[in-house]
Amino acid sequence: MATVHSDEMAQLRAAVHQFIDERFQAKTEKLTPDDPEYQKLVEQFDHDRWLANAARRVSQLQIVTHSLKPLHPDAKGSSLHAPPQTPADEALIDTNVIGDEFTVDVVGNAAALDVFKFLNTEVDGRTLLARVQELDPALQAAFSDDADTARERMEQFAGITEPGGPHTSHTLAKQLFWLVGEDPTDDAAFHLLAPLYPTSLVHAIHQTINHDRFSDEAKTARQARRDNKPHEHGYNDYPDLAIQRFGGTKPQNISQLNSERRGESYLFSSAPPLWQSRDIAPINARTAFRAFGRRPAVRATVSRLRRAITDSAASGRNNMHMRNRRDRLTGELIDELIVFTHAMRQLEPGWTAAWDCDLPAHQQYWLDPERAETDADFARAMATADWQNAVCGDFSRWLSRQLQWGRRGQTAPPALGDPEYRHFRDQPGERLDFRNAIEIELTDWQQRLDTELAETAEVFSDV
């Protein structure tokens, strides 16, 4: 004890007595000195008696970084105190990435948590717990004037990082048998792994997410984004974040940190991303009809239309039933084209202004008309362009290619050649909208098709 600086010991003893006195004041705030309960508390919070009691009760607690309770509240196995080690493995996200600034958790009897609060008291920037773990002689001397009593209390408080007995698992804990030998029929060839909840890491993540979501800096950055204004730093979003709760109405029964989080723990989404095909935004294509043609409903409709034309030519019949069949299928193509147009116009306006957009100008006017609201040059060009008829010409070219007779040794139907394309391309007059333009074009196309099919039926007579 002679090596202990008396001033430091006195400062630590004053901090210990202050903590005990504050607890006493909180307990007796509504009591009068003549109340029998008040006198009981006077005896209970006598400095030396409270320290002796706290040193005994500390065995009901354990400071941990990896806890068993969140896996099952009734599990009775061991939790572990495994502080972060340096250097951390950069390939893994584990407790080591927290570094020196990490928060320990406490499990055990919630009624004894006041002992942990006592050990968490700071003096000169160091907690009493840190001093206990370092076997600080000044703190030991502050615990009692009797050297043996002081040493015993120091040892008792230091035991808060160790489980009450040997490391054990429990039937309610998660367990995994891992083969480490060569023979899977040999029980001795397995190790029993018992995963634990990384409570210190979870708490650090929870604090980070809360700061990113609710801090004043994040709020001002988001407001600047909504106002389309610059800001000195950005912000982080966590889409599809879920919350898992531990402990129900008594989160303190799980652990101290769980109680501080009100039982909440964040879960990141592990669902696979929803795939959006490239045909949704045909940026790199030279024509949007390539993406349109990849849509399953369009492929199926074109196939049925091709078969209808083939059947009509092969049989030499071009009756009402055949024409109604083609009318219905071409009507379905129109519907799909309008659906495609609507889908493209749901994208963020101006998407066609990307540097790698290869779509021709008239298709940009067709699929991204709202870009004109912010792009004056685009608006002027769109106002003077005959983009509807240009798109009709593209559609005619695309449909003709889709309906070509592709089997080797067979002749392409004459009705699907240049006359139809020229008919689409050369249609004069203003249209009320794009749908009307396409409907009129297809109606005229079918009339020409009927005529040419009747004249060339013999080409398909052997099909």
Question: To which residue do tokens 């699907």 refer?
Answer: 416
Instruction: Write out pLDDT tens, residues 267-310.
Output: 888 877 665 544 466 767 888 888 888 888 999 988 888 887 77
Mean pLDDT of 308-323: 71
Place 461 in a pLDDT band, splitting at 50, 70 and 90: very low
As a whole number, mean pLDDT of residues 28-37 equals 84
Res. 339: pLDDT tops 60 = yes
Between 217 and 412, the more confident residue is: 217
pLDDT at residue 351, as a whole number: 87
What average pLDDT does the chain have? Answer: 78
- 120-139 mean pLDDT: 84
Mean pLDDT score, 163-174: 80
Q: What is the mean pLDDT of residues 105-121?
A: 82
463 within 8 A of 310, measured Cβ to Cβ: yes
Instruction: Assess whether pLDDT exceeds 50 at residue 313.
Output: yes
Whether pLDDT at 432 is above 50? no
